[in-house]
Amino acid sequence: MESPSSTGQSANEALPGTAFDWSIGSVAGTLERMTTETIAGLSCPVPTDLLIGGKWVAASGGDRFDVTDPADGSTLCTVADATADDAHAAIDAAYAALPELAAMPPRRRAEILRTAFEMMTERVEDIALLMVRENGKALADAKAEATYAAEFFRWYAEEAVRIDGNFTTAPAGTNKILVTRQPVGVALLITPWNFPAAMATRKWGPAIAAGCPTILKPAAETPLTALLIADILVEAGLPAGAVNVLPSSKAAPLSETALADFRVRKLSFTGSTKVGQGLLKLAADNVVNASMELGGNAPFLVFADADLEAAVEGAMLAKLRNGGEACTAANRFYVEASVADRFAEMLAGKMGAMTMGRGDDDGVQLGPLVNQATVEKVDRLVTEAISGGARALVGGKRPARDGFFYPATVLVDVSDDADCLTEEIFGPVAPIVTFSTEDEAVRKANDTPFGLVAYLYTGDLGRGLRISERLECGMVGINRGVISDPAAPFGGMKQSGIGREGAHDGLLEFLETKYVAFSP
């Protein structure tokens, strides 16, 4: 059978009853923009105001806050500082957009997401460089993230038309059971600074696919990337009010306002467990549907039968992607005693050879950390471990230079009670501990309130699968140092979170199930 396009007909002619334009790229967004900033190296200006109801506006209080370049501590630009009043305005706008977005044909929502994917792909270089500027990450990491972030729009463009339902006969034969899915409603999205693009698109993609208008509060450290991608979403054709963005230096009044408003029916948060716990308490009052992607403390297990070269390659990815500032970062290395010295030396050789510097300078593999507080935390964890008996094979000392830098560090002889094994390090530090038996490895790996991801290297796939079942975490990488994939369900157990992002599961987080009983 010929497709509509191959017959020369338009899709609308070919499919009577469809009353919308199927063409990709019907651009709705010609936004009047108040304030933009030119960021060094970018080919386009970056919006720096709030996005509310399809308009770029100043904050109601007129305030702005600084965005800092972590490579030298200088101010990149200022951004409008949203208040509780702005949160009210954004909720009004989002709630007003709900009927149109919910009723929009799934194919149309899919086309908008697909257009946004293509626009992001065209602008990967700009998006990556913007992340280097405001987050500090190395350019290669930033490019990988920009591409990964765009993939969430492509994936959810494909998922938007796969929202299913069910129609059955009740077992007693008395009636029919009709099950449909509807958008959950206005969604408050809160994202961290470590993946400024991907953490936003991982929420926007499924929310738009499901038909939920959103209010995004990006991290104060990295608001620019979210503003640039929001501009793309509007240009891709999202109706006014479907995407609102509220950068703010004072997050609590915004979340308190939003979660106290009954029109906000969804909270999707990515960030630390501590902040997530507070938000869950706020969400409880209005029984807001909550998806929480929280902190991690990933173990990386290496068994003596593993291919050690591959394990070190995997360790470099699991530890140093994003300079160690990842919830999925390997936080603790447990290595079988007979191969521990060799593994540590090989890893120290690779980590010690990394070039540290400004993210977009030639050859740089390790950028600065995001801010002064993060450098101080990493330094504290390393210093305490060393006072407790650990040795640094490489790194271990803050460099004397401007910017928020910390060198790649490998620690051995780390005591079991060191804080760097229990707290998220969020920096390029690899503490290595030994084990002797499979049971000991599993016990140590599970000895944490967190349960996001674990990695294990072994030459025996049977053992890998057996251990992965025993690990108390939402994701396991067997002989792989990277697990993130838009097509896979990402999320944690225990205090690492509730719900999943990515895959079809991520879409379900933004849908309510409705059941209708009727007698024909």
Write out the residues near ligand NAD by the rule CB under 6 A: 190-195, 199, 217, 219-220, 251-252, 255, 270-272, 275, 278-279, 293-296, 327, 424, 452, 492, 497
**Which of 303/510 has CB closer to ligand NAD?**
510
Strands 391-394 and 409-412: antiparallel
Smallest separation, CB 34 to ligand NAD (Å): 23
Residue labelled with tokens 């080919």: 43
Q: Distance (Å, rounded) from C-alpha 183 to C-alpha 206?
A: 10
What lies within 8 Å, CB to CB, of 16 at 6+ separation is none
- Out of 212, 327, 420, 473, which one is annotated catalytic? 327
Smallest separation, CB 247 to ligand NAD (Å): 9
What lies within 8 Å, CB to CB, of 206 at 6+ separation is 156, 159, 501, 506, 507, 509, 510
What lies within 8 Å, CB to CB, of 75 at 6+ separation is 66, 67, 68, 69
Q: Which helix (H) or strand (E) holds 262?
A: none
One-letter amino acid of 438 = E
Burial readout 456-471 (b: 16 or more C-beta within 10 A, e: otherwise):
bbbeeeeebeebeeeb
- Token pair listed for 37: 């900033």
- Token pair listed for 252: 């609590």
For residue 411, which phi and psi values (nearest 5 degrees)? -110, 135
**Which of 322/434 has CB closer to ligand NAD?**
322
Q: Distance (Å, rounded) from C-alpha 412 to C-alpha 332?
A: 11
CA distances from residue 376 to 152, 284, 384 in whole angstroms, order as listed: 34, 34, 12
- Out of 118, 134, 235, 293, which one is annotated catalytic? 293
Smallest separation, CB 282 to ligand NAD (Å): 8
**Which of 295/477 has CB closer to ligand NAD?**
295
Displacement of CA 322 from its chain's centroid (Å): 12
Report DSSP state, residue 309. H
* Residue with the shortest CB distance to ligand NAD: 271
Smallest separation, CB 326 to ligand NAD (Å): 7
Q: Distance (Å, rounded) from C-alpha 108 to C-alpha 238?
A: 10
Smallest separation, CB 248 to ligand NAD (Å): 7
Q: Catalytic residue at 100?
A: no
**Which of 220/382 has CB closer to ligand NAD?**
220
Q: Distance (Å, rounded) from C-alpha 152 to C-alpha 447?
A: 33
Smallest separation, CB 451 to ligand NAD (Å): 11
Q: Report yes or no: 49 and 34 within 8 Å, Cβ to Cβ.
A: yes
Q: Distance (Å, rounded) from C-alpha 86 to C-alpha 461?
A: 53
From the list 145, 150, 142, the residue with the least C-alpha distance to 120 is: 150
**Which of 464/502 has CB closer to ligand NAD?**
502
Smallest separation, CB 480 to ligand NAD (Å): 18
Q: Distance (Å, rounded) from C-alpha 420 to C-alpha 430?
A: 9
Q: Distance (Å, rounded) from C-alpha 477 to C-alpha 236?
A: 35
**Which of 278/388 has CB closer to ligand NAD?**
278
**Which of 243/327 has CB closer to ligand NAD?**
327
Smallest separation, CB 476 to ligand NAD (Å): 15
Neighbours of 366 (CB within 10 A): 23
Query: CA geometry: angle at 115 spanning 34 and 202, to 5°?
Result: 80
Strands 243-245 and 214-217: parallel
Displacement of CA 40 from its chain's centroid (Å): 25
- Token pair listed for 303: 């068994």
**Which of 192/206 has CB closer to ligand NAD?**
192
Q: Catalytic residue at 327?
A: yes
Smallest separation, CB 198 to ligand NAD (Å): 9
Smallest separation, CB 370 to ligand NAD (Å): 8
**Which of 237/271 has CB closer to ligand NAD?**
271
**Which of 327/346 has CB closer to ligand NAD?**
327
Catalytic residue numbers, as ranges: 293, 327
